[in-house]
Amino acid sequence: MKFLHLVWAALNRRRARTAFTLLSVVAAFLLFGLLESVNSVFAQVGNSIGAAHRLVTVSSGGLMNSLPLGLQNQIRTVPGVQLVTSETFFGGTYQKPKNFISVIAVGPKFWDLHTSLKLSVEARRAFDATQTGAIVGAALARRFHWKVGDQIPIKAMIYPRKGGSYTWMFDIVGIYHASKPLMEQQLFFRWRYLDEARLFGSGTVGWYVEQIADPKEAGRIARAIDALSANSGHETRTQTSSAFAADFYSQYVDFGLIVSAVMGAVFFTLLLLTGNTMAQAVRERTPELAVLKTLGFSNRTVLALVLAESVLLVVLGGAIGLVLAGATVHALQAQMGSELPMMPVGAGIWLRGLAAMVAIGLVVGALPARRGMRLSIVNALAGR
């Protein structure tokens, strides 16, 4: 510890260079923090569950497999579950094939559970009373100039009607609002309409969403829900809504692979960059290291000083990067809510980050440190 000021002085010797190197370390670990934040949601898929107010139950065979309607009443009896609704992905296009809309058929309790989607009492009443009623997001309504009372045809992606037609008519009975336009892009209609009119698949839903009383109970409740269907041929997996979102995306991308590839490239670049900086810094200070050795500093102390310098540099930059990543995730979550497939930058990410920082610092410092350790005092003093 008493040597710390020596390490600090060495870093301060070329402020601009240190600042530049620090900045690249900050950038690398900001990226690391963000990617890990997303990645840990993906990693959590299928694993144990963190704290959450809302759980999602999907078929363990994947999102595209449906679940029986009868499961809903059973889920409702699981202690700790306050509300259950079913949701079924419908999808669709309006007028042109490129006008894709996220259309979802929902159970009656849907609006009680998703209170962040605001709609008027009249709209709710009309939705409950109208078989073909639909409620659309405000942003979506603006996009297609829809208003309450309009009747709109939607071309279904998956489900044909009895008789084979893919065109479904909906009566817009309300507009919902959310905190972000991004979340006002969907069309919700009654599952009962879907189920009575579709050619196949009746009696099934896509997935269930549960509201639970105590977030800390999430793990236990999820296990209890999954136990209901154990060995039934339609086994389920219950997870937090953010893990569900990640699960949804991972149908399309192997996120873990992307993270590994990107971070591999970033850290490799960082190694070259900081490695070069450290080599240069130590070369410049050869006479100073020779003086320390003259005064009786052992080879090992000199080695440790140089290693400490590079580790400190990387840990300092890395910590700033992770703090920034944490703040970024926090801000994004405040904006987009719990559906955002990102986890807070927590202890796990910090631990892995710190391990990476120390490892990079040691690797980067190793060669210069060895050079400093091996330097011959008399030659260095004579400038040889």
Partner 1 sequence: MSALVEIGNLSKVYHRGRQTVEVLHHIDLAVEAGEFVALMGPSGSGKTTLLNLIGGLDSPTDGTITVAGERIDQLGQGALARWRAAHVGFVFQFYNLLPMLSAQRNVELPLLLTKLSGSQRRRNASVALQLVGLADRAAHKPGELSGGQQQRVAIARAIVSDPTLLVCDEPTGDLDRQSAEEVLTLLQRLNREHGKTIVMVTHDPKAASHAGRIIQLDKGTLVPLEQAAA
Ligand X SMILES: Nc1ncnc2c1ncn2[C@@H]1O[C@H](COP(=O)(O)OP(=O)(O)O)[C@@H](O)[C@H]1O
Residues that bind ligand X (CB under 6 A): 378-379
Nearer to partner 1, 290 or 329 (CB): 290
Which neighbouring-strand residues pair with 56? Answer: 209, 239
Quick check: 2 binds partner 1 (CB under 8 A)? yes
162 binds, among ligand X, partner 1, none (CB under 5 to 8 A by kind): none
Which C-beta is closer to ligand X: that of 313 or that of 380? 380
Smallest distance from the beta carbon of 42 to partner 1, in angstroms? 46
In sequence order, what are the residues at sequence separation of 6 or more whose Cβ sits closer than 8 angstroms to the Cβ of residue 380?
286, 287, 289, 290
Burial 217-251 (b: 16+ CB within 10 A, else e): bbbebbebbbebbeeeeebbbbbbbbbbbbbbebe
Q: How far is the CB of 8 from ligand X (least distance, A)?
A: 33
Nearer to ligand X, 165 or 379 (CB): 379
What minimum distance in Å lies between the beta carbon of 379 and ligand X?
5
261 binds, among ligand X, partner 1, none (CB under 5 to 8 A by kind): none
- Comparing CA positions, the residue from 25, 75, 83 lying closest to residue 54 is 83
* 235 is a site residue for partner 1 (CB under 8 A): no
* Bridge pairing between strands 100-106 and 133-137: unpaired
Rg of the chain, C-alpha, whole Å: 29
Q: Is residue 162 close enough to count as binding partner 1 by CB under 8 A? A: no
Identify what 19 binds: ligand X, partner 1, none; CB under 5 to 8 Å per kind. none
Q: Which amino acid is at 46?
A: G
Q: 299-336 and 15-44 helices cross at what angle (nearest 10)?
A: 50
CA distance 1 to 371: 23
10 binds partner 1 (CB under 8 A): yes
CB of 293 to partner 1, least distance (A): 7
Q: Which does 287 bind (CB under 5 to 8 A by kind): partner 1, ligand X, none?
A: partner 1
**Residue numbers 277-336 binding partner 1 by CB under 8 A:** 287-288, 291-299
237 binds partner 1 (CB under 8 A): no
Written as six digits, the tokens of 303 are 């080695």
Tokens of 119: 């709609």
Q: Is 375 a residue that touches partner 1 (CB under 8 A)?
A: no
Residues 329, 345: Cα–Cα separation, whole Å = 7
293 interface partner picked from ligand X, partner 1, none, CB below 5 to 8 A per type: partner 1
CB 156 within 8 A of CB 92: yes
Tell me if 9 contacts partner 1 by CB under 8 A: yes
Q: Is 19 in the site for partner 1 (CB under 8 A)?
A: no
Residue whose entry in the numeric block shows the structure tokens 């400038």: 383
Pairing of strands 186-190, 133-137: antiparallel
Judged by beta carbon, residue 1 or residue 382, the one nearer ligand X is 382
Comparing CB distances to partner 1, the nearer of 295 and 347 is: 295
Which of 25/373 has CB closer to partner 1? 373
Please state the closest distance from residue 279 (CB atom) to partner 1, in A. Answer: 19
The reply on whether position 16 binds partner 1 by CB under 8 A is: no
Q: Which does 83 bind (CB under 5 to 8 A by kind): ligand X, partner 1, none?
A: none
* Residues whose CB is less than 8 angstroms from the CB of residue 245 and which lie 6 or more positions away in sequence, other chains included: 41, 339, 340, 341
Angle between helices 255-284 and 286-294 (to 10 degrees): 70
Q: Measured from the CB of residue 375, what is the shortest distance to ligand X in angstroms?
A: 12
Tell me the residue nearest to ligand X as measured from the CB: 379
Measured CA to CA, the distance from residue 308 to residue 2 in angstroms comes to 13
When asked if residue 125 is in the footprint of partner 1 (CB under 8 A), the reply is: no
Burial class (CB in 10 A: 0-12, 13-18, 19+), 89: middle
Binding site for partner 1 (CB under 8 A): 2-3, 5-6, 9-10, 12-13, 287-288, 291-299, 377-378, 381-382
